[in-house]
Structure 1
Amino acid sequence: MGVLQGTISRRVLDLDLTIGCFTLSLKPLGSSKYMERQVPFSGILSCDPAQNPDFFSWNKVKIRYCDGASFAGHPESENGTGLFFRGQLIWEAVMHELLSLGLSSAKQALLSGCSAGGLATLIHCDDFRKFLPKDATVKCLADAGFFLDEKDILGNQVMGSFYRDVVQLQGVAKSLHKECAARMEPYKCLFPREIIKNIKTPVFLVNPAYDIWQIQNILIPDASDPHHSWQNCRLSIHKCNPSQIATLQGFRSSLLEALSEFQKNKEGGMFINSCFVHCQTWMANTWHSPKSPRINNKTIAESVGDWFFNRNILKQIDCPYPCDRTCYDLDFT
């Protein structure tokens, strides 16, 4: 009976995920049919030296989100849903196209992304390095992609279950580190905590300690708050009561604990600020402006530039909320 219940549960989860993917395929994040034809390049993609002091003159390419698994899906067979998950092949096709357009002769290259793109950056970082000349300076910058395998406020392992289903549905295991996938359940190797243990290319991590997406989807998903007692806190950290702040501090502690090994990485950089936000590298207000978040009086752009050009490799960790008055906190109330 226990096995039967487990089987039904798995099928329900797979069905929910498939329905979610189908819904996404009808929106800009799931199909090029619905994407904007032009997108603004700001923050790290900006051509304005005042906004992007170190990388304004670089050639820049934005790879659009479309596959739902950080360009890592590659199932062995079709799933009968009419949906095709080929993120790994999309990644390879894009890279070969860029190499033919001049990337193959690059002297300096930085692979970056935020959110699912930040996770994609970590997954493909070493692969990106292999595509480029051996004498090129190649590094990777992951913004808000350090997703945690934490329990929600009711004790449910929401993100772990979701990752397990994504790996199964999209055949992601083949894109993950082989030794890791042989040592533990493959879905666990999709979490950045495990990924960064095996990356050889220099990596910089930008992550808010109170990542709004993770707060709303991992720590306090809608289903874990049926009485809406967390509603205001989920929308604005300034509306949290002391007990809720204590829970958020625990989430921050989990992030720092997950990063403890990376702090020993001599080539790695880090900017962990105490802001209630998600992606920070692609917006001028958070990347580099007079009102940008700072740690030790350094903006994210200055910290990343110092790291990339070996001027100063820092691992900056902010003091806990509410000490940082430079934060660009989101407020959805």
Structure 2
Amino acid sequence: MENHIQTTTDHWIRPLICLLIVMSTQVHGSHMVDITLLKSAVSKGAVCLDGSPPAYFLQKGSGEGADNWLVYLENTDIKRRGARIFDAIMEDLLAKGMKNAKNAILSGGSAGGLGTILHCDGFRALLPSASRVKCISDSGFFIHAKDLPGAKKREQLFSFITAYHGITKSLPASCTSKMSPGLCLFPENIVKDIQTPFFFLESAFDDHQLKKHFFSNDPTWRSCTRNLKVCTPTQLQTMKDFRAAMIKTLRKVANSKTTGIFVHSCYRHGHFYDKEFWKHSPVLGDKTIVKAIGDWYFERSSVQEIDIQNELPQNCTKHA
């Protein structure tokens, strides 16, 4: 089990960063973006696990977009040494103009989305003069699903990640005072304490969680998760049960108008980097993903959209 957990954590992005993509939200044209190595962070102990300095990409906006910032925590295979790196990079960005931000978003994909959850209120505190600061998690809502198969192994996985990467101090005391640090890494146990407006972009059939976190004893489960056409009726029912748990858990935590959710039924994990998916976004109500995030961010309406029609995972490579 420990070897399996070790392998799984190698895929996971530890929720605190070594590599950031940082962009202001309005840029014009397209060109290569240089990497910024933050060598000054080394003396503060803010280094990657191989001792190298942290790094980020910065593409500045212009005109009206100069004071609008998007910070994205990337999901990569780089191992990190957490809060020190995040703090060092934020300090550097503040000095480069982020302190003047009028609008700002902290976002991240997969475990970078989990990092966004952990850092959201801290990010807001860095920008006291900004008019609007909010956070978006893209496929970072990893569920405990304690009543579904593999719950104990999911608990062991999250406990191992928490201990191995020493992130207990980054978890909210309001949670760790009540339960183990490993359980506090599950977003459902900490998002209720987040004060900053938050948006969760998720699939009810998150293929990464179904493939990597379900720990099914069914020897053909892996084949099923790789090719839905070969799934048995029992396996499809298991996916339905996962969908129900995901929706129930998100509904439970999204009990505020400032919390936005968009939960579709596409069989996938991650959205921000897939340009084709953005072009052919699923539509819930009258909203694409872009419209849903825009309506939520600019407070045109509350957004809590969930696909309640499709009880099975959908192939969403193309949308009408």
**How does the TM-score come out when normalised to structure 2?**
0.75
Give the counterpart letter for 1:260 in structure 2: R
- For residue 233 of structure 1, what is the aligned residue in structure 2? 224
Residues 234-254 of structure 1 deviation map (CA, whole Å, 9 limit, x = unaligned) = 113344232211111100111
Contact 2:17-2:86 at 8 Å conserved across structures = no
SS in 1 for 2:169: helix
- Whole-angstrom CA distance in 2 between matches of 1:240 and 1:46: 45
- Whole-angstrom CA distance in 2 between matches of 1:280 and 1:45: 20
User: C-alpha root-mean-square deviation of aligned residues, in Å?
Assistant: 3.5
Contact 1:151-1:158 at 8 Å conserved across structures = no
Alignment of 1:142-221 (within 5 A): 142-150=137-145, 155=150, 157-220=152-215
Contact 2:203-2:266 at 8 Å conserved across structures = yes
Distance 1:47 1:305, change over 3 A: farther
Segments of structure 1 that go 5 or more residues without pairing to the other structure are 1-11, 49-55, 70-84
- For residue 315 of structure 1, what is the aligned residue in structure 2? 304
Contact 2:71-2:107 at 8 Å conserved across structures = no
Distance 1:147 1:24, change over 3 A: closer
Task: Give the count of matched residue pairs.
Answer: 278
Question: Once the 2 structures are TM-superposed, how far is the Cα of residue 298 of structure 1 from its aligned partner?
Answer: 1.6
Question: Once the 2 structures are TM-superposed, how far is the Cα of residue 24 of structure 1 from its aligned partner?
Answer: 7.2
- Aligned mate of 2:255, from 253, 264, 289: 264
Segments of structure 2 that go 5 or more residues without pairing to the other structure are 30-63
SS in 2 for 1:92: helix
Residues 288-320 of structure 1 deviation map (CA, whole Å, 9 limit, x = unaligned) = x1x222212321111001100011111000025
- For residue 90 of structure 2, what is the aligned residue in structure 1? 95
Question: Once the 2 structures are TM-superposed, how far is the Cα of residue 325 of structure 1 from its aligned partner?
Answer: 6.8
Distance 1:136 1:259, change over 3 A: same
Residues 164-191 of structure 1 deviation map (CA, whole Å, 9 limit, x = unaligned) = 1121222211101112101111111111
Contact 1:271-1:315 at 8 Å conserved across structures = yes
- For residue 130 of structure 1, what is the aligned residue in structure 2? 125
With a CA cutoff of 8 Å and minimum separation of 6, indicate the structure with the bigger relative contact order. 1
SS in 1 for 2:121: helix
- For residue 305 of structure 1, what is the aligned residue in structure 2? 294
Distance 1:160 1:114, change over 3 A: same
1:274 maps to 2:262: no
Question: Once the 2 structures are TM-superposed, how far is the Cα of residue 132 of structure 1 from its aligned partner?
Answer: 0.5
- For residue 75 of structure 1, what is the aligned residue in structure 2? none
Once the two structures are aligned, what percentage of the paired residues are identical?
Answer: 32
Contact 2:284-2:305 at 8 Å conserved across structures = yes
- Aligned mate of 1:243, from 224, 234, 253: 234
- Whole-angstrom CA distance in 1 between matches of 2:287 and 2:91: 36
- For residue 36 of structure 2, what is the aligned residue in structure 1? none
**How does the TM-score come out when normalised to structure 1?**
0.72
SS in 2 for 1:264: coil
- For residue 109 of structure 1, what is the aligned residue in structure 2? 104
Distance 1:105 1:46, change over 3 A: closer
Distance 1:47 1:312, change over 3 A: farther
Residues 204-262 of structure 1 deviation map (CA, whole Å, 9 limit, x = unaligned) = 000000000000011246xx34x3x2233211334423221111110011112212322
- Whole-angstrom CA distance in 1 between matches of 2:264 and 2:8: 32
